[in-house]
Structure 1
Amino acid sequence: MRFLLLVLPFLLVTALPSMAGGRRSHDSSIVFHMETDPGANPKMVFSQFVAGEERVFSRVPEIGTSDIAAFNPFPSKDGATYGVVIRLKAGSKNRLAAITAANINRWLVARVNGRVVDAVIIDRQIDDGELVIWKGLSNAEIKQLDEEYPRLGEKKPRGKS
C-alpha cells in the first residue's frame, strides 16, 4: 500500500503533461490583445504606447497561436521586416467576428514571440477570419512559422516533409 502511495503521485506528474488534450506545442507565439478600460484590474492588463498614447490592453489574448490555420508573409513598407496575413480556424473565425463587433474603435495589438510588433484600430467587424500584422516580423520568424503552419493555399507547412 505504501508503495502505491509513493508511485501514484509520480505517475500523475509524469503522465499529465503527455495528456495535454492532443494539443501541439508551438515554437512561435502570435497573440492578439484587445484594448480594455483603464480602470480594469491592474493585474489583468498591460500598458502599451499606441498612436502616441499610452493605452491599456487585456493580458489575456483574444486570439492566439492555436487559432491559426495558415499564413502568408509579405515584405513590410519599412523594408526591413515582414508582415503576415493570418487565416484563422473556423471556430476562431466566428469568435473574432464577435470580438470585433463588440469592440469597434478599440485597438488590437499583435505580439510575436513576446514583443509587441503592430497595432490596428478595429473600425468594423472582421468576419472573413483573417488578421494582418503589417510589420515587425524577422526572416527567422517567418522561417519558424513555415515549420509550423501551411502558407495560404497549401496543405502542409513548408518546413515539414
Structure 2
Amino acid sequence: MFQRITVLIAMIALSICGARAGGKADEKLSISFHVETEASDNPKMIVPFKMPDGSTKYFRRVPDFSVRDIENMAPFPADDESTYGIVFKLKENAAQRYEAISLANEGKMMCAQVNGRFVDAVIIDKAIKDGVIVIWRDVTLDDINAFDKIIPRIGQKKPKGNKK
C-alpha cells in the first residue's frame, strides 16, 4: 500500500513538473513595459537599466503593461537595419491606464522588455490618448515569429489556439 502511494505521489510530482516545463515556453513569449522610478525606491521593486549613454536608470520591476494588455501589433524594420520595432495597440482598458500613467509620468522614461531582455526606452513627453505603444528597436525576427502565435497583426484575426 505504501509503495502505491509513493508511486502515485511521484507520478503527480512528475506531471506537475511537466506542466511547469511546458509553461516555460510561454514565459519566453513576453512583452512588458515599465515606467521609470527613483533609485531610492524599495530595492526589491526596482530594476536598473544601463542606458546607451552609460548612465543607469531605474524602472519598476512590476510591469505597467504586458502581453495580456495587447490587442494587436505591427512589426517594422528598425532604423539600425538589423533589428525590428513593433507598434502595439492596447486593449481599451489598458489604453485608459496608459493615458493616466503617461499623464502622471511626463518627463520620465518607459522601457520595454521583450522575452526577458530590455530592448528600448522612450521618454514620456505627453499623455498618450490613442492606446498605441511602440518599441522602436532591438526586436528580433524570432521574437516577432513567436508573437505572431499569440498576438494578431493589425487588421487580422486572433491566431488559432489563442485563448485570450
Same fold per TM (> 0.5)?
A: yes
Query: In the alignment, does 2:89 pair up with 1:90?
Result: no
State the distance in 2 between where 1:54 and 1:68 align.
28
What is aligned with 1:35? 36
Aligned to 1:124: 126
Distance (whole Å) between structure 1 residues aligned to residue 31 and residue 121 of structure 2: 13
* Match status 1:151 vs 2:153: yes
SS in 2 for 1:148: coil
Aligned-residue offset at 1:43: 0.9
Determine if the alignment matches structure 1 residue 49 to structure 2 residue 44: no
Mapped partners of 2:143, 2:160: distance in 1: 14
Return the match for 2:69 from 64, 67, 70: 67
Superposed CA deviations along residues 88-141 of structure 1, whole A, max 9, x for unmatched, are 001000000000000000000000001000000000001100100001111111
Work out the CA distance in 1 between the residues paired with 2:124 and 2:160. 32
Hey, which bits of structure 1, 4+ residues long, moved more than 6 A? none
Q: Where do 5+ consecutive residues of structure 1 fail to align?
A: 1-9, 18-24
Corresponding residue number in structure 1 for 2:108: 106
TM-score by length of 2: 0.79
Q: Share of identical aligned residues, percent?
A: 42
Q: Which residue does the alignment assign to 1:21?
A: none
Where structure 2 has 5 or more consecutive residues not aligned to the other structure, the ranges are: 1-11, 20-25
Looking at structure 1, the residues matched to 74 and 91 of structure 2 have their Cα atoms a distance apart, in angstroms, of: 15
Q: Secondary structure at the match of 2:110?
A: strand
For residues 6-45 of structure 1, what are the structure 2 equivalents within 5 Å?
28-45=29-46
Question: For 2:37, what is the secondary structure of its paired residue?
Answer: coil
| Superposed displacement of residue 154, structure 1 | 1.3
Q: Count residues in correspondence.
A: 142
Which residue type is aligned with residue 109 of structure 1?
C
2:143 matched to 1:138? Answer: no
User: What is the RMSD computed on CA atoms of the aligned residues?
Assistant: 2.4
TM-score, normalising length: structure 1:
0.80
